[in-house]
Amino acid sequence: MDVLVCGGGIVGLAAAYELAERGADVTLCEKGSLGNGSTARAAGGIRSQFSTRVNVALSLASKPVWDAFEERFGVDIGFRKNGYLFLARSEATAERFRENVRMQRELGAASELLTPAEAAERCPGLDPEPFVAATFNPEDGVADPNLAVQGYAGAAREAGAEIRTKTAVTDVYREDDRVVGAEVREAGEAGGTASERLAADYVVNAAGAWAGRVGELANVDLPIAPRRRQVAVVEPSTPVPESAPLTIDLETGSYFRPERDGVALVGGHFAESDPDADPDGYDEGMEIDWAAGAVERAGAYADYFGPETRIRRGWAGLYAVTPDHHPVVEESAPGFVTAAGFSGHGFQHAPATGRIVADLVLDGGTDLVDVSGLARDRFERGEALTERSVA
Ligand SMILES: Cc1cc2nc3c(=O)[nH]c(=O)nc-3n(C[C@H](O)[C@H](O)[C@H](O)COP(=O)(O)OP(=O)(O)OC[C@H]3O[C@@H](n4cnc5c(N)ncnc54)[C@H](O)[C@@H]3O)c2cc1C
């Protein structure tokens, strides 16, 4: 079975590894370098506190891999389990939190409901006053996406996958509706390119924010939009302890988490508008006005971010967003598997997704997670899910 994986981010690499491990002949093509898309720009959050069963299931199916990553792949990804702390300002959100915790616990997650005072025990700089409830899971945390890329890439190569960087998929060939291969173009040393046709029984679209474009090559219309998101690295006026959780004020969308030595990452999307970005030509830098606003919002509920807080640097990356904040994971056309549109959660869901892609290609279905609700025709059928726990 020849499989061509398009995209060398965490999702494509996890899929390439799982496929090669199960005996498929895998070629992964990445148009730039490994992880240089959204993966390198992620905040590294890993959690099982989602509001829909399928997202929680993807988290729980990924968890064993994150928990034993170093043993399995020989790379320490710096996974720090400080927990995620979600905060609710209104009774309506608190009610949803109660339902979420019930559902998450039923599926096996260690989530708990907290009072604002208990939340402040977990995050000592937190002002509990604006909040009415919180949820916490001590098993959630953050890891380094670049190291995870290295781990998966090494394991995929060891399992026999061929990984080709600076090699773009430029066309997808179909015969009698079935995918039979792709045109790939490799950028040469001297600036030229060389095209070749690769035969494949399956092409996997793991192109993240570019997935819509890759879908078009196979005449598959995907509702996946590239949306720009920013992160700031700040030196807070009071150092954020390294043990503090990733803390999200859900109703404003503001979040922060500790880095090392008291430094923190601060993020959130606050603008009313959310236009599509051009994944090949968006501003990868952080806007200082956005960063000042993000720090001010964080300072409104956490004492760490007083007026002396200094903005050190930052960056922007892309979420691959679908209308219901769930990915499309399916065989979209015969021989064409899509695994994209993770809407800001794709780093953490990559281990389960890699296995699911391998199951779809090699077995025609999967029993790891029920992904029937992740087919793209859910939007036409009016059966879209809505993930509300997003930042
Ligand atoms: C600011 C920010 C914070 C985030 N924080 C988190 C977080 O805390 N937790 C979390 O789980 N997720 C987070 N995310 C989301 C996460 O980064 C993505 O969901 C995840 O990286 C998606 O991985 P991917 O492999 O699908 O995409 P990518 O990493 O974008 O990989 C896709 C790859 O496909 C390549 N490609 C595109 N077109 C072609 C082509 N035609 N031929 C060959 N290659 C092609 C691209 O170059 C790219 O490398 C965050 C994202 C951003 C922007």
Domain ranges for the chain, please list them: 2-47+146-223+324-378, 81-141+225-321
Q: Pick the closest to residue 5 from 224, 215, 219, 206 (CA basis).
A: 206
Which stretches does DSSP call E strand in the chain? 2-6, 25-29, 45-46, 84-88, 112-114, 133-137, 141-142, 162-164, 167-175, 178-187, 193-199, 202-205, 225-235, 246-249, 254-258, 264-267, 310-321, 328-333, 336-340
2-47+146-223+324-378 homologous superfamily:
FAD/NAD(P)-binding domain (3.50.50.60)
What residues flank ligand 1, with Cβ below 6 Å? 6-12, 29-32, 36-39, 41-45, 168-169, 206-210, 214, 229, 231, 317-319, 340, 342, 344-348
The pTM of this model reads: 0.98
* Residues 216, 371 contacting (CB under 8 angstroms): no
Residue 92: band (very low, low, confident or very high) from pLDDT cuts 50, 70, 90: very high
pLDDT at 390 over 90: no
Determine the pLDDT at residue 53: 97
pLDDT (mean) for 111-136 = 98
Write down the pLDDT at residue 384: 80
Q: Which atom of ligand 1 is nearest to the CA of 279?
A: 37
pLDDT exceeds cutoff 90 at 270: yes
Class of domain 81-141+225-321 (CATH, top level): alpha beta
Percentage of the chain modeled with pLDDT above 70: 100
For atom 26 of ligand 1, the residue with the nearest CA is: 208
Triad 358, 360, 364: Cα angle to 5° = 130
State the pLDDT confidence band at 210, using cuts at 50, 70 and 90: very high
- Mean pLDDT calculated for residue range 30-52: 97
> Is residue 309 pLDDT above 90, yes or no?
yes
Residue 3 has pLDDT above 90, yes or no: yes
Calculate mean pLDDT across residues 346-362: 98
pLDDT at 387: 85
